[in-house]
Structure 1
Amino acid sequence: MSMSGHHAAAIAYLEESRDVLQRAIDDPAFLDALTRAADRVAGALASGGKLLALGNGGSAADAQHIAGELLSRLNYDRAPAAALALTTDTSVLTAIGNDYGYEAVFARQVRALGRAGDVLLALSTSGRSPSVLRAMEAARAGGLVVLAFTGRGGGAMPERADLVLHAPTDRTPLIQQVHIAAAHILCGLVEERLFPRPEA
C-alpha cells in the first residue's frame, strides 16, 4: 500500500470514528444511560461502596483503565475512589479457570468481593461473553447494581443489567472507542460530584 493509500485508510477510519461519536451525541438514550450510570456509581461510592469492573480482551483493558481513573485521578488531585478491576490477578484468574472453568472467573470474584449496594460495570462488545454474563447474574443475586457497556445489539446483557449503555455501532474497535470515551465522561462526572474541584 502506498503512503497515500495508508493516509486514505487512516482518514476513512477516523471519519468512521467521528460518525460513531456523532451518533452517540445525537442519541438521547445514550446520554441518559451515561448520566444515570454516573449517578449510580457516585451514589454507591458516596455510601461506602465500590465499583467492580470486568471484561475480556480489550474490555479487560478498559476495566483496568476505568479502575485506574477512579483510584488515582482523572482531571485533578482528590481523594481516591474505591474501584477494582477483576481482570488483573493471574493467580486468581488461573485458579478459578482451572478449578471451575473460564466462565466462572468473574462470577466467583463477584460473589467473594461484591456487597449489596456496590456497582458492577460489565463490558462486552458483543454482549454474549459467558464469563461476563455469569458475573452479571452473580451480581444481581448479591444485590449489586449492574451496569452494562456493550454494542448496538447488546446480546444477552440487557436482561441482566439495571442500566445499559449501547455504543451505536456493531464494529468491535469502534465500540471500544465509545466505551472508553463514555468511561472518561462517567469518571469525570463522578469525580466532580464526590470531590468538587477546589476553588481557584
Structure 2
Amino acid sequence: MNETIKKHLEEHQSVLSTLESLAPQIETVARHMIQALQNDNAIFWCGNGGSASDAQHLAGELIGRFIGNRIPLKSIALTVGGAEGSCIANDFGYDQIFSRQVEGLGAKGDVLVGITTSGNSENVLNALAVANQKQMTTIGLLGKGGGKAISLVNESLVIESNITARIQEMHITIGHILCDLIEEGLNLKA
C-alpha cells in the first residue's frame, strides 16, 4: 500500500513542478477572462466526467465565491444532465451537447473553457468550433499533448503528462489560480 501512495505523490510532484513554465499562459488566460467579465460577458466551462466536475467546480468558484465575499461573476458550467442535456443528446447526439448550448447562450466576447485531458473529446471540440464562429475567446485546459483541441483554441494550457489523474489535478490547480487572478484583477479581494 505504501508504494502506491508514494507513486501517486511522486507523480503529482513531478507534474506540479512543470506548472511554473505555464505561468505566462496562465496570466494571459486570466487577462482574457478579466476583460470578458469587465465587458459584462460570461465565462462558460465544459468537459466530460471528471472534467465536467472541474467545470462545475470552477464555475461555482466564480458565480459564488473563491476566497472572500464579493459580487457574483458571470460563470456557467454547460450541463450534460437534466432535461436540456437529455434533449440535446436525444435530438442531436451527445457530440452536440455543448455546442448547442454555446450556440444558444454564447455571444461575441464571452469565453469558453474546454476541459479535456486527451484534447480529443468530440463534444468539447464541437463547442470550441462554435465558440470560434461566434467570436468568443476559446481556452483549452488540456493534457496528453493537447490533441485536436490545441488547434481550436486561442490559448492552451497543456499539462505535460499522459496520466489522466495528474492532468485533472493540475487543471483544478490552474483553475484555482485563475479564480484568484480574476478576483485580484477585478479588485474584488477584501
**Interval of TM-score (by shorter of Structure 1 and Structure 2):** over 0.9
Equivalent residue runs for 1:151-170 within 5 Å: 151-170=143-162
Output the aligned Cα RMSD: 1.0
Runs (4+) off by over 3 Å:
none
Within the alignment, does 1:177 sit opposite 2:169 as a pair?
A: yes
Identity %: 36
Within 2, Cα distance between the matches of 1:197 and 1:157? 33
Pick one of 8, 16, 23 that aligns with 2:18.
23
Task: State whether residues 114 and 140 of structure 2, in contact with CA within 8 Å, keep that contact through their aligned partners in structure 1.
Answer: yes
3-state DSSP class of the match of 1:183? helix
Task: State whether residues 45 and 112 of structure 2, in contact with CA within 8 Å, keep that contact through their aligned partners in structure 1.
Answer: yes
Within 2, Cα distance between the matches of 1:181 and 1:152? 17
Q: How far does the alpha carbon of each residue in 1:128-182 deviate from its partner, in whole angstroms, 9 at most, with x for none?
A: 1110000000000011000000004111011110000001111101000000000
Hey, what does 2:118 align to over in structure 1?
126
Q: What stretches of structure 1 of length at least 5 have no aligned partner?
A: 1-5
Hey, what does 1:60 align to over in structure 2?
52
Pick one of 83, 86, 89 that aligns with 2:75.
83
Amino acid aligned to 1:108: R
Task: State whether residues 151 and 175 of structure 1, in contact with CA within 8 Å, keep that contact through their aligned partners in structure 2.
Answer: yes
1:89 CA displacement: 4.5
Hey, what does 1:51 align to over in structure 2?
43
Task: State whether residues 80 and 97 of structure 2, in contact with CA within 8 Å, keep that contact through their aligned partners in structure 1.
Answer: no
Q: What stretches of structure 2 of length at least 5 have no aligned partner?
A: none
Within the alignment, does 1:39 sit opposite 2:31 as a pair?
A: yes
1:88 CA displacement: 5.2
Amino acid aligned to 2:188: P
How high is the TM-score relative to the length of structure 1? Answer: 0.92
3-state DSSP class of the match of 1:105? helix
Task: State whether residues 51 and 118 of structure 1, in contact with CA within 8 Å, keep that contact through their aligned partners in structure 2.
Answer: yes
1:11 CA displacement: 1.5
3-state DSSP class of the match of 1:157? helix
Equivalent residue runs for 1:179-198 within 5 Å: 179-198=171-190
Amino acid aligned to 2:11: E
Q: How far does the alpha carbon of each residue in 1:70-121 deviate from its partner, in whole angstroms, 9 at most, with x for none?
A: 0111111111100000025511111000000000000000000000000000
How high is the TM-score relative to the length of structure 2? Answer: 0.97
Within 1, Cα distance between the matches of 2:111 and 2:189? 24
